[in-house]
């Protein structure tokens, strides 16, 4: 028997065994995927993402009630799975690893949000002591940041946050869905928070000099 014929027969035998006991080989694959990812196998990592992304996404969606935040946290979770693959323990399943990471990612995000809220509260207290000139400087900063937004996102933010229109009213004026309005507002706030807190802290520092 040639080497080629032997390989063909072995392949056929494996197919018959797998077909007769599919559940055995499915679970074996799931268990071995941790070892493969730990060894740096990108194909296994992609397989883990495809098979588990929905359940991890819905875990975050339930926690945050925001599709955008859930997507961001999902990406962070799988990024950490790959970054720290060398520390994976083959004794634990893929789900155990993923949800342990997901829990840590969520707690970290929550702490950052609480820290940002504390900074915001501090800025609000300090703002009461600022002069009209200081307020004008902050208004200028806000205007410059709004100009960096895409036109539709900028308009949605101004209509909702500055002029007081509801999501439904903004959606009607811009001829977009309410979900699209929510996405625009969420992304605009992230953009503003990232820069505006920094500028505000600089201003407060200058006031104390």
What DSSP string describes 128-184? Answer: TT--HHHHHHHHHHHHHHHHTS-HHHHHHHIIIIIT---HHHHHHHHT--HHHHHHH
- Please count the other Cβ atoms lying within 10 Å of the Cβ belonging to residue 198: 11
- Compute the mean pLDDT over every residue in the chain, rounded to the nearest whole number: 75
Residue 208 has pLDDT above 60, yes or no: no
CB 92 within 8 A of CB 38: no
Residue 67 has pLDDT above 60, yes or no: yes
Lowest model confidence (mean pLDDT) among 105-119, 142-156, 166-180: 105-119
Tens-digit pLDDT profile for residues 98-137: 999 999 999 988 887 776 666 555 555 555 555 565 557 6
CA distance 10 to 35: 25
> Would the CATH topology of 3-113 be identical to that of 130-208?
no
pTM strictly above 0.75:
no
| Mean pLDDT score, 26-35 | 63
Residue 83 dihedral angles phi and psi, to the nearest 5°? -60, -40
Q: Which two tokens stand for residue 160?
A: 């909702």
Instruction: Write down the CATH number for the domain with range 130-208.
Output: 1.10.10.10
CATH class assigned to 3-113 = mainly alpha
Residue 145 has pLDDT above 90, yes or no: no
What are the boundaries of each domain within the chain? 3-113, 130-208
pLDDT for the residue 130: 55
CA distance 92 to 144: 50
């Amino acid at each position: 028997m040639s080497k080629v014929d032997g390989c063909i027969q072995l392949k056929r035998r494996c197919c018959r065994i797998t077909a007769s006991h599919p559940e055995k080989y499915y679970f074996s694959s799931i268990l071995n995927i941790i070892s493969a990812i730990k060894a740096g196998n990108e194909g296994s990592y992609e397989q883990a993402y495809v098979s588990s992304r929905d359940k991890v996404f819905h875990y975050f969606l339930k926690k945050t009630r925001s599709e955008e935040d859930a997507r961001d946290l999902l990406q962070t979770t799988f990024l950490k799975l790959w970054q720290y693959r060398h520390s994976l323990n083959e004794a634990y399943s893929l789900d155990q690893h993923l949800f342990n990471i997901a829990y840590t990612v969520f707690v970290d995000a929550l702490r950052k949000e609480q820290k940002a809220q504390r900074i915001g509260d501090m800025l609000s207290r300090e703002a009461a002591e600022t002069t009209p000139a200081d307020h004008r400087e902050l208004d200028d900063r806000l205007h410059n940041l709004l100009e960096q937004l895409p036109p539709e996102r900028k308009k949605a933010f101004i209509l909702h946050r500055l002029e007081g229109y509801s999501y439904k009213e903004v959606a009607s004026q811009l001829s977009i869905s309410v979900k699209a309005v929510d996405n625009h507002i969420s992304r605009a706030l992230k953009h503003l928070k990232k820069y505006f807190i920094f500028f505000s802290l600089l201003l407060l520092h200058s006031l104390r000099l």
